[in-house]
Each structure stands twice: as C-alpha cells, then as structure tokens.
Structure 1
C-alpha cells in the first residue's frame, strides 16, 4: 500500500523506504541520495532552517546560527524534556526532533508521490542500557513525535531485525544469521533464522533466537579518539597553577556530538575565562577559549570523524586543524585509536557472546555474519566480532541502507 513506509531515524543518518515493484525501496531524501544526515542548522543570518548535507554546508560556510546533530541520542535521557536557545528563542528538544522527522516524511512523500499515514520505525534493541523504564519512555516519545507529524499508525521493529529482512530478500536457502548493526549511537545484534520460505510469514517471532545490544556506536568512537588525540592540544589533562586538574567537562562536551552546544553557554564561557588566567599551560586553554568563542565545536567533531574514517583504510592519517589558533597539523595512528576504543570493543564483544549464550547456540552453528551500519567499518570491532564465529561467512550489506530497506519490507507485511 502506498500509505505505509519504513523510517530509519538514525543517530548519524536517516532513510525512508517504500516497497515498489522493480524499484529500489529506498527513497532519495537529498540530492538523489537515500541518506539524509540527521543534522539541523538554524541559520540566524537568513532566519532559515536547513537539513542534512545542506545544513552541514551552511555551517561550514560560516553562517551565524546553531547546528544540531545526533538528535536520536536525546531519546530516553532527561535532555528530551529540556530546550535549547535558537536565535534568542527557546526551542524544546521534542519540537526539534519533530521538525527533523517531519522533514523526512515530507521528502519521502515528495519522492513517492503519495502521502504516508502508516510507518514502521526502526529502534535499537536498547535505547538506554539496563533501564527498561527509560527504554519504554524513549520508544513512547518517538511514537508521539511520529504521530505529531502526521503518521496515524506507528509500529516499531528492532533495527538488526530490519537488516535481517533486507538480507533475507537476497538468499536462496535457510541460514542462521548473526546480524551485526553498528550504528552511530548503538551496537545491536540479532540471531535469526532466515529463508525465502520464512520471509512470507507476517509473524517472525519464532525465527528470532535472541536479540541484544549496547549503547556504543560511532559517536562514542569519535569521542574516545577526540579525547585521546585532539583534546590534549586544548589542555585536556593539564593543571591549574594550584595543581588542581582543569575540569574535564569542557572536553567531554566538545567531544560528544549532542552536548557540544553546552560548551557555548554564558556560564561555561565565564568559568573558562577564569580557568585561562590560572592555567599552567595557558596557551592551550587560550586555544580552547578561541575555539569556543568561534563556535567551532562541530567543525572539530567533523575533523575527528573524518580522521576516524580515514584510519579504517590507512594505518595513519593527518588532521589539518586550521581553525586552531595557531593552526595545527595532527598525525593520528590507527594503533592509538584502537587502544582508545578497546574498552568499548571489549563491551561489544561480551554483548555478542551473551547473545549466543542466550540463544543456546554454539559458535560453529552460525552460518553467516551480516554487517550493516556505518560504524561496522571500524576494523578492530569488525575483526573481533568475526573472530567470535570463525566458521561463519562474512557478508557486508548496504552499511547505510539495509535497515531502511528492511523496514520498508516490514511495513508492507504489517500494513498490507
């Protein structure tokens, strides 16, 4: 039916899918591309709002305004009931998410030539680790927001299960598949029996042997790389003349996508000025102060993200930090990155082992590991997951589109 779609509202990128005979299910959301970066920019110069790649371009071109990214990370946290200041006006975070999801809906409908009233939204296995109440609240919040922008019926599917449905459409025999979905905010896993015959069933509960996940993803890898390599150039780990450590909150805020704007509050800027006067390594704190004065936190986060991506293909990479004062050229190494994220990878490793235990499946019973999600390109993480099931075939899906395509299939099955 033309009124049912799948929506993958991701931490880093979002997609929308609609099953059409003979065509790709993913709808082009920006410049002919299926992905729309989950970014909003409020342009104070022109009093306009832009989304996705256009938002990033406007920000990098130097327009005055406010950039918001990793919006999904607000779900399930106390921040969702808060607000931020945009052009001197208070903007509730719930309204911010509604603006972005409403834009995804509008663009999907424009491409399809149809109005979508039903949707299956992807969700991580756990929005919040170890807190069922917060997890339910996150799903309820997303459901309320989806309905507020015009979806009359909203259903949810675990993101790795959606990726499994996409993979299932490509196979010709039964397989026991470990789905590894490493996204921007979470690492989610499912162990599923898939086959062309099983694909015809509406109810797939008996085919899902186990699901698991942990709130670790690409933005966390960015954060740890930033703290290990970049933030020391801004004074992270240094001390005041009294011997006390410089507070780490400035660095953690700047290294975490959805908290960058907290570094720009009046209170934070005033406190930083006092720290600069008393810093042992004053030049580093002055560099931090200039970066914050210029609202360049998102620019810095983008440099770190690009450096992380470069390390997937090369043992080292150079970050040109030309907005530092003075400019700096920083060489980062894959080995240092892997050491920084090792505790995160160990946690993901344990999550997968627990999944296999919960399912009562031995490692040699798994036929295939299906990798999806943009952050599955992190070599160390991928190697560790693959090593847990050494006899399984390793398959890479559409890293940014498998979930959206699977959600479109699920929407077709659920809504007709």
Structure 2
C-alpha cells in the first residue's frame, strides 16, 4: 500500500503530514515532539556533524564553530541556485544542501510512522519567481529533482494557499467565498476559492479555484528591509565619502542584510573593498565596525537579531536593538512606525496583488465572506492591520499559521494517491 504524505518545505519552517486511519489529517513530530522543524542546517566544525532545525539554531547561537544555512527555498529559480558554499575543505551546491535537509525530514517522518514513505505532495508558492514563467517552472523542476533524489518515487505539487483552503474547509458548514492569504518566509500567495461541506467531497477542485496570484515578498524580505532601514545605517549605509561627492556603496549592506548573500562577503576581496571604502568614508568608524563584524563572521547572527526585533514588535510598540561586535555595539531603537515605514512598499505590492487576485476572480472586496490568514508573516502588525482594514466585513480566520498548509497537503496526498 502506498503511504502518501504532504510536505510543506518552507523558507522558515517545514512540516510533513498524513491522513490517519480515522480520515483526519495530522502533522508528524519532526523534532523533539514538535510538528514543525525550522528549515535550517548547521555544519558543525567541532563535531564534524550536520545539525538540523532547532538544534542547528542552538549550536549556532551558543557560538559553536561551524556554518549556518537557512532560507534555502529562496534561491530556487534564481541564479544563486548554481552557486556553492565552502564548508571546510568541501564545497556544497545549494541544491545538494536543500536535498540534505529534505532527506532528514523524510528520515524523521519515517521514524515516526515506522514505515517508508515513497509518495509525496509538495507545497509550492503560486510564484517562485515573479513575472518569469520560465524561471518559475525551472524552480519547481529544481525542487522536484531534489525531492526525488531522496527516494520519493511519486511526487506531485499543490499550491500552498490551496492547501490552506483544504484545511480550513473542514470547519465550514455552509458555502463561502474565501480569500486565502498565505504570507510565508519567501513568498506571498493569494487565492479566491469556493468552499463548502459538499465541495470538500470532490477530488478535483479545479472549478472551485476562481483565481490565484502571488508575489515574491515574504518574511525574509521584511527582515532585510528592516535591517537596511534601521541597522545598516549604524554601519555606514547612507553616509557620504569624505569629499562629499557620493554615498558609500549600497551592495555590501544589501548582502549583509540578505541571508543567502552573506557568504559572499566572507572573502578577501570583499574585505579589501570595504577597507578601501573605510579610507574614503566620512564616518570610517562605522565601516570599521562592519569590517570587524564580517571578519568575525557574525552576519547571519546579525540578521537573526533583526528578525527577533521584528517579532518583538508583534507584541510591543518599540524595542531596543543592541548587537555586540567585539568591544562595541550596533545599537538603535526600533518602533512600530519604523517597521511600518520599512515595509510600506512591500505592503503596497501585497495589496496590489490582492486586487489582481480579486480582479481575476471577477469579484470585489465585499464578495469575500472569509479572510483566511496563514503563514508566519501574517502576524506582523503592519501586515495584519492592513489586511483587516481592507476586508472589514469578512470573517477573519486565523489558521495554524505554521501547520495549515502541511495539513492541507496531507489531505491532497490522500485524495491523489489513496
């Protein structure tokens, strides 16, 4: 008998689910009894081992010598997918690293189930890459290749917002027109779909999906934007050269604010360029602190601190940011207003994509009965508040923001493969 599961390989967190004998979807415990595992790997130099999930983060945070890799899904369909990163004497391609993580999720799921899993429905964003169908198709092909290489004989895909709708539909008792808003770590996806107890019985739901749209904006972009707006200026971004003729180059600050680009700064040429910038800078002490930060390979830790500050602003009006670099601190005060301004352009792109989704479906805002929010980034106040204001009359449904897609994928796997 085929054992089919749903795999939600996310930019920030991953889950795997299956439908039990009782017909109810459930997520499998993937790490210390928890149903989510952060999509993170840590190559430990001290123990020569690869650590995953929370254990990887813990190794990294406690200062173990090694390399942290995360946000791997963000490179699918981009030129970076062909890059490699050196881990001691060995170079790993990004596809290989992605496969290592998926293989570990598969191994843990099989240990939980007590049997092999060879069939899977994988979630995918509506668009891996915006406005480039060729690159988007290539991204799915890259992900499928990485999944099949881990021993999955049967692989299918489902849009992540559709999976979230399948999970939500279990609780409805009448027909509703729903807008699914799935804001993840790397992408924001939207779907207008009709749901009802009767429709839930059908295997083919193509006719119920009125429209889908997506934009390559997500939580990791929010972290980068907040970093560029509030943290990078403390390291010299936006300051002038000594002669007052130009601003300092932006590129290294962008790289330092972007998880999968940080490794590009960890080489001799990048440091030589920064030292040249420091000699020309009107505020050389700021660039000097950036050089020390890069020399000590603290880039990923810095972005993690920015992400933590963003999360704090979900429950507080302001937070004090202080990041140690040798005998100094990168410090600034960040408040809700700062976050809102940093994300303004991204929020507008999200609003524009929602408007396009409704237009494709041939419906207006007032036609939406249920606004279903899933994905961790829906908890960002600047996002959640704007969505609520856009749909004041709709029922607001907050799903299991990290688990609903996995549950829906498990249901889809059951329907497709039995």
Name 2:360's counterpart in structure 1: 358
Contact 2:19 2:411 in 1 (8 A): yes
* 2:317 pairs with one of 307, 315, 318: 315
Following TM superposition, by how much is the alpha carbon of 1:254 offset from its aligned partner in structure 2, in angstroms?
1.1
Secondary structure, aligned partner of 1:28: coil
Task: Measure how far apart 1:329 and its partner are.
Answer: 4.0
CA distance in 2, matches of 1:413, 1:127: 25
Q: Secondary structure at the match of 1:400?
A: coil
Q: How many residues align?
A: 416
Task: State yes or no: 1:49 paired with 2:79.
Answer: no
How far apart are 1:317 and its partner, in Å?
1.1
**1:63 CA displacement:** 1.7
Equivalent residues of 1:7, 1:14 under 8 A apart: yes
Residue in 1 aligned with 2:239?
238
The answer for the alignment partner of 1:291 in structure 2 is 293
Match of 1:194 in 2: 195
Match of 1:112 in 2: 113
TM-score normalized by the length of structure 1: 0.97
2:275 aligned with 1:278: no
TM-score by length of 2: 0.97
Q: Is the 8 A contact 1:2 1:115 kept in 2?
A: no
Structure 2 SS opposite 1:327: strand
**Structure 1 match to 2:259:** 257
Distance 1:219 1:198 in 2: 35
Could you tell me which runs of 5 or more consecutive residues in structure 1 were left unpaired when the two chains were aligned: none
Map of 2:8 onto structure 1: 8
Aligned mates of 1:141, 1:327 — CA distance in 2: 41
Alpha-carbon distance between aligned partners in 1 of 2:399 and 2:167, rounded to the nearest angstrom:
9
Q: Does structure 1 retain, via aligned residues, the 8 Å contact 2:234–2:331?
A: no
| Contact 1:352–1:385 (8 Å) recurs in 2 | no
Q: Is 2:328 the counterpart of 1:344?
A: no
Give the stretch that moved more between structures: 398-407 or 246-255: 246-255
2:73 match: 72
| 1:331 aligned onto 2:333 | yes
- Partners of 2:45 and 2:148 in 1: CA distance: 29
What is the CA–CA distance in structure 1 between the aligned matches of 2:85 and 2:243, rounded to whole Å?
Answer: 35
Deviation at 1:377, TM superposition (A): 0.5
Q: Aligned Cα RMSD in Å?
A: 1.4
* Greater Cα shift, 143-152 or 193-202: 193-202
Structure 2 counterpart of 1:158: 159
Measure how far apart 1:325 and its partner are: 3.9
Task: Name 2:20's counterpart in structure 1.
Answer: 20
Contact residue 320 and residue 332 of structure 2 kept, 8 A: yes
- Partners of 1:37 and 1:324 lie apart in 2 by 29
Corresponding position of 1:385: 387
Q: What is the SS of the residue equivalent to 1:116?
A: coil
Cα offset, 1:2, TM superposition: 5.8
Residue 82 (structure 1) aligns with: 83
CA distance in 1, matches of 2:397, 2:7: 24
**What's the CA shift string for 1:280-321, capped at 9, x where partnerless?**
211101110111111111111111111101111111112231
Of 80-89 and 177-186, the range deviating more from structure 2: 80-89
- Whole-angstrom distance in 2 between the partners of 1:356 and 1:275: 48
Structure 1 Cα separation of the partners of residues 123 and 37 of structure 2: 15
Which stretches of structure 1, 4 residues or longer, exceed 3 Å deviation after superposition? 21-24
